[in-house]
Structure 1
Amino acid sequence: MTRTAATARQREESRDDVRAEGRDARRQQKLNAKAAKARKRRARAAEKAGKKKDMKRLLPTEDYPGTLVLRADKCTQDALGYELLCEDGTIKLQQGVYSRVVEFQDASFQAARESEQREIYENWSELLNTFDNTVHLQVKILCRVIDRDAFREDAFLPPVEGDYAGNRFRRDINQIIESKVAETQQNVERRRLFIVTVEAPTREQASPQLARATEQVMRSLKNMGISSEEVRGNELLRIIDSITNPHDPRGFVSFDDLKVTDEHGTSAIQLGYTTKDLVAPADLTKIDDTHISWNGFVGQALYLQKWAGSVRSDMVSSLAELPINQVIALDMTSWEQSRAIETIESMNTDLKVQKSDYVLKHSQTMYITDEMLPTNLQDAMENARDLRDDLVSRDQKMWSLTCTTMTWADSLEDCDENSGAIQDVFRRFTCRAVPS
């Protein structure tokens, strides 16, 4: 019995071992099957990615100057300052921040009579006061030096062989064009842009805010006698491209360029290209702390570090009249009204303390009246009172204003010469600009 029982136990243990081995084998088969499926998925993904990468190479790289740098690394597209540009002209600067652009003509403020200047100034103040601190405003003036020879070549009508009567009219038209070119002030083309920026979670929520803001801007400009129009996506692309690729051999770029297809019928948009690929420079290099280069040009940015006590109205126009390539930017953000009033009240309190200290210090030797206070203290107190009256009694808004310029040229020496000319203009108006 004992031997039989032992044998039975051995057989049972053998069967248990066989069943355990079977379970382990089946478990291993399942694991192998899952691993094989995972390898197949990774292989298909890699094949798909490789195919997409190969398809991207099928598009001519000269049509997309910034795409030679891998997206995984820093590339020239990252320096453009926006995330998305839509055909209707809406710009997504970053998540939750959207802009639209209005182009306007020159107001001829300097040539206007004093009464007209006052009216323009009042309309401009009214325009600014219609926006609260949720709207950011920016005025940009784009100045580009015109190549007169290239302009003549593009604008002149060529003679037609055998058309003697028509050639006579063509010569007359060319003479008119030549006279207009000669009248062009210092060969500089100027474009004036008014940019409105709002914060909203999505583009759909930002659109009505932007529409109301741009409509208000255009209506106010019309009241000043200034014509304006909203800038759409294609024109914005051309404006950006005129700076990032000043001598672009492709001519004008447009959203249609993103709809071109490769030999498989796949469009550039489907391959992941965006408007940033259309206008990004082929290269962007930081030369030193204040200079950068792109496409054979050298550029430098400057900002107005010190403002004068009062700024004349012709400072910006004097800057724009320089015969150089530059972008002048005026950034304006209004203060929340209660914060602005609180700041002015605090300023008034500090000035009163300074006045009391001065009177207390000199009262033992003489009787101090307001007229005997230091001139700078008198001026500061008067300005603070006027500013408080503007905020409290006249419902004016207080604004933060930043002025920057960006200039570029063919060489480092020419760029520095441009920067020197800009700084000279600011010094003439008792302001100081420094490279940024």
Structure 2
Amino acid sequence: MARRKPAGGQGRRMRRRRERGYRTAKELIGYEAMLSNGIAYLGDARWSVTVRMSDINYETATRERQAQLINAWAEFLNTFDGSTRLQVTCVTRTLDAHDVMSMVGMRLDGGPFDALRAESNRIMLAKLGERSRNAVTDKYLTVTIMEEDPERAQATLNRLVKSSESQLSTLDGCKITPLGRGERLRLLALLLRPGEPFRYDDKLVESGRATSKDFVAPWCVDATDARVLCLSNAAGDTLRSTLWIRDFPPIMSDRLIAELTGLKTEGTVSIHLAPYDRSVGAELVDRKIAEMDMQRLEERRRNMRRHIPADELPADLRDSLEEAHNLRDEMRRSNERLVEALAAVTVSAPTRPLLDQRVKDVLAACRKLSCTAETLACMQLDGLNASLPLGVNPLPMRRTLTTSGAAIMMPFTNQEIMDEQGVFYGVNARSGNALMVDRTRTTINANGFVLGTTGSGKSQAAKAEMTALFLSRPDDDLIIVDPEHEYAPLCEALHGARVIVSAGSADRINPMDITLDATLDGDPIRTKANAVISMIGALIGGSDGLNAAERSIVDRCALGLYREYRNNSALPQPTLADLHRRLVASSEPEARGLALSLESYTLGSLSGFAGQTTVDTSNRFTVFDVAALEGELKTFGMMVVLDHLWNRVARNRKADRRTWIYVDEFHRMFSNRYASEQFLDMFKRARKWGLGMTGVTQNIEELLASKEARFMLANSAFLLLMNQTPTDAAKLADMWHLSPELKERLGGARPGEGLLKAGEAFIPFDGRIPTDSTLYRLFTTKFGET
């Protein structure tokens, strides 16, 4: 449909300034004031707020899901009426590998593990320089309203932000974060003062000694070139050029923003949208149809005068009429409304040849999708303002679209996670950017799984994460349950404690250890007594466990021992031997039977768990080697280990220390109900207690066969999915509704590659490390390399 210039007071003050000329660089920035809450006053009773939108995995979604996301985005756009203006801004910034390393690298502390930190940093740097584009694209939404009263303007914008937050969450959990004044100014400074560190003093602004523009305006803007601006700052000169997309194809592609942000180009893509009220939009379409009907009538008369068939109309008129009638029908039967749209692309570079090349790249990307872009001539200052996330659009060009047509310009592409101080898992296999995840911050809980076939790099990935946590989080404890003698080299390298758990081991764990802490949930004595009943049942109760009378007797004896211990701090922790003596002293026949059954475990050849704990509980890296647990002690020994670990978690919680527990060959732990119930209980309570549990396994089929394990897997916020068998890949893809591309990555990954799930995000990653590195030798389990 026809383009038209905006009506009313839009940009009156900016036009007056252009007519008399800008006196300072600050004047050309299109806002009047920035409030402390980040709301900007643009002049002419216009106000705007900007929010940051988290990205979602649109490109890797199934085609069906992509269509659903486009419809959801269109519905969101439809909620804004003719009194609002929207601007979607995608800001791409590039970082070299050393800039990224300053964010993600491990700092040396002069301690005994600096050699490992230094090698980790070398591996990260090589990985980033190997294939990384290190281009980060942030997505922003700016909402602008017209309102004379400042308080009402702020209340309206805050309400729109709240409603937007709720609606956008339906787009695969997209989250929005409103920008305060400092954050919004930082963003403007990034665009107007590239290369300069952002320095901002809110006190100066509040006192009136400085304006917010003093912290973002360039020193000088040279607009003598009709197609290029030169921004001068302390860091040097930056050349900028803004293009606009003049024509779109009849059937638009959803790849437009993805193609433009996918270029290795610093700059912005801005989509300005001005919705019409439905009645106004309908009148506009009717008026346009009436104009074309009049034109058709004139064409018919002209044809009759020329003695040619009256209905032979120009093809463009015939097509336009059909398009307009279809649009009117669609608007009448659906929720569609009309929007005025402008798409502007701004690129920047330090030199003119590089800028010209980047402009060519943008033109080529648009042509690829049958769009026509052109550089703004004599309007670069207006283009600069249109590119800033302020909600200002002084450019006169417009294209009228429906909301579904505007929604096709989908701003979402793929998720990136680069949490500062997070663990480095490798690089995003799609973008080459660093993949850094802080499991304590990014996800709803810190629980997770590492899953993969033999030889997929599963053990390497788990050990790499353990090592990174140990080296970068000195106040955290890491505990590993090792059923295959696999973690001894890593334990030695990290100066850890290795505990051999077996009946004849010199390392002793007292199954009756208790943590008496009034801050714990519930009564710790009753909770521990119940745990003792379960452990004794697993040890001597057979497949059915203890009967009611036996449970009561064990409960009475355990409660008595713990109450004596609580009342006399000089007493040592109760032991299994103490419980045996209590049972012997009891008069009931059932008690004597229990004592007799326990005798070999307290006085005989299997008495490895009868005494006080000798394990060093102060070491930050502790490996419990349970490979020697077998026969009748296997279940009981595992329950003792888990109970001991929970005591450690409880003590750490009191000391404000986080605990990480890794269980290798995790599927084995669900072969009996006692261990599986303990694992499930620890999993459910983990977040509140500062615990991150991680299961490591290759046997996914057996894992999915357990109801408890399946629950844990479905509710884990973090997953490392290495290469899978075709059957397992299909099951996992069905569980999480993965696209064919992501499913293919699951089934065809090389060792060290796979999918990472953090919260709602699924990111393909490459975590391979050099085979000649010390870390590789510590991590590998390959035969002949261990």
TM-score over 0.5 (shorter chain): yes
In 2, the alpha carbon distance for the partners of 1:214 and 1:321 equals 28
TM-score after normalising by structure 1: 0.72
Equivalence for 1:302: 243
In 2, the alpha carbon distance for the partners of 1:79 and 1:354 equals 43
Superposed CA deviations along residues 376-399 of structure 1, whole A, max 9, x for unmatched, are 455333321221022222242100
Equivalence for 2:143: 196
Equivalence for 1:270: 207
Q: Which amino acid aligns with 1:189?
A: V
Superposed CA deviations along residues 51-73 of structure 1, whole A, max 9, x for unmatched, are xxxxxxxxxxxxxxxxxxxxxx8
Equivalence for 2:325: 385
Equivalence for 2:710: none
Equivalence for 1:100: 49
Q: Which amino acid aligns with 2:29?
A: L
Equivalence for 1:234: 182
In 2, the alpha carbon distance for the partners of 1:423 and 1:245 equals 26
* Deviation of the 1:191 alpha carbon: 0.8
* Deviation of the 1:178 alpha carbon: 5.8
Would the alpha carbon gap of residues 366 and 180 (structure 1) be closer, same or farther in structure 2, given more than 3 Å must change? Answer: same
Query: Number of matched residues?
Result: 349
Q: Please say if residues 82 and 93 of structure 1, whose CA atoms lie closer than 8 Å, have aligned partners that are also in contact.
A: yes
In 2, the alpha carbon distance for the partners of 1:211 and 1:271 equals 26
Q: Please say if residues 102 and 218 of structure 1, whose CA atoms lie closer than 8 Å, have aligned partners that are also in contact.
A: no
Q: Does 1:321 align with 2:258?
A: no
Equivalence for 1:418: 358
TM-score after normalising by structure 2: 0.41
Q: Please say if residues 92 and 267 of structure 2, whose CA atoms lie closer than 8 Å, have aligned partners that are also in contact.
A: yes
Would the alpha carbon gap of residues 365 and 287 (structure 1) be closer, same or farther in structure 2, given more than 3 Å must change? Answer: closer
State the secondary structure of the residue aligned to 1:89.
coil
For structure 1, which runs of at least 5 residues remain unmatched after alignment?
A: 1-72, 260-266
Superposed CA deviations along residues 94-115 of structure 1, whole A, max 9, x for unmatched, are 1411111111122332322122
In 2, the alpha carbon distance for the partners of 1:182 and 1:100 equals 39
Equivalence for 1:214: 161
Would the alpha carbon gap of residues 136 and 269 (structure 1) be closer, same or farther in structure 2, given more than 3 Å must change? Answer: same
* Deviation of the 1:229 alpha carbon: 1.6
Alignment of 1:352-367 (within 5 A): 352-353=293-294, 361=303
Alignment of 1:160-199 (within 5 A): 160-161=109-110, 163-169=111-117, 171-172=119-120, 175=123, 179=127, 184=132, 186-199=133-146
Q: Does 1:287 align with 2:224?
A: yes
Q: Please say if residues 305 and 434 of structure 1, whose CA atoms lie closer than 8 Å, have aligned partners that are also in contact.
A: no
Equivalence for 2:88: 139
Higher helix proportion (structure 1 or 2) = 1
Superposed CA deviations along residues 104-137 of structure 1, whole A, max 9, x for unmatched, are 1223323221221121121112111111110000
In 1, the alpha carbon distance for the partners of 2:270 and 2:83 equals 20
In 2, the alpha carbon distance for the partners of 1:297 and 1:289 equals 16
Superposed CA deviations along residues 249-296 of structure 1, whole A, max 9, x for unmatched, are xx3434xx142xxxxxxx565353111111222222223122221221
In 2, the alpha carbon distance for the partners of 1:380 and 1:328 equals 29
Would the alpha carbon gap of residues 346 and 155 (structure 1) be closer, same or farther in structure 2, given more than 3 Å must change? Answer: same
Q: Please say if residues 258 and 274 of structure 1, whose CA atoms lie closer than 8 Å, have aligned partners that are also in contact.
A: no
Q: Please say if residues 84 and 93 of structure 1, whose CA atoms lie closer than 8 Å, have aligned partners that are also in contact.
A: yes
Would the alpha carbon gap of residues 268 and 129 (structure 1) be closer, same or farther in structure 2, given more than 3 Å must change? Answer: closer
In 2, the alpha carbon distance for the partners of 1:330 and 1:172 equals 41
Q: Which amino acid aligns with 1:333?
A: A
Equivalence for 2:170: 223
Amino-acid identity (%): 18
1:398 to 328, 338, 347: 338
Alignment of 1:5-44 (within 5 A): none
Superposed CA deviations along residues 284-324 of structure 1, whole A, max 9, x for unmatched, are 22231222212211111222223333321101210111111
Q: Please say if residues 98 and 125 of structure 2, whose CA atoms lie closer than 8 Å, have aligned partners that are also in contact.
A: no
Q: Does 1:253 align with 2:196?
A: no
Query: Which moved further from structure 2: 426-435 or 349-358?
Result: 349-358
1:75 to 16, 21, 24: 24
Equivalence for 1:18: none
Over aligned residue pairs, what C-alpha RMSD do you find? 2.8
State the secondary structure of the residue aligned to 1:223.
coil
1:333 to 274, 290, 302: 274
Q: Does 1:433 align with 2:374?
A: yes
* Deviation of the 1:196 alpha carbon: 0.4
Alignment of 1:335-350 (within 5 A): 335-350=276-291
In 2, the alpha carbon distance for the partners of 1:182 and 1:236 equals 34
For structure 2, which runs of at least 5 residues remain unmatched after alignment?
A: 1-21, 380-786
In 1, the alpha carbon distance for the partners of 2:129 and 2:277 equals 47
Alignment of 1:38-77 (within 5 A): 74-77=23-26
* Deviation of the 1:202 alpha carbon: 3.0
Equivalence for 2:707: none
* Deviation of the 1:209 alpha carbon: 1.0
2:100 to 126, 141, 151: 151
State the secondary structure of the residue aligned to 1:217.
helix
In 2, the alpha carbon distance for the partners of 1:432 and 1:270 equals 45
* Deviation of the 1:413 alpha carbon: 2.2
Would the alpha carbon gap of residues 268 and 395 (structure 1) be closer, same or farther in structure 2, given more than 3 Å must change? Answer: closer
Equivalence for 1:116: 65
Q: Please say if residues 69 and 171 of structure 2, whose CA atoms lie closer than 8 Å, have aligned partners that are also in contact.
A: yes
Superposed CA deviations along residues 364-413 of structure 1, whole A, max 9, x for unmatched, are 999898xx876545533332122102222224210000011222110122
In 2, the alpha carbon distance for the partners of 1:271 and 1:378 equals 61
1:409 to 340, 349, 354: 349
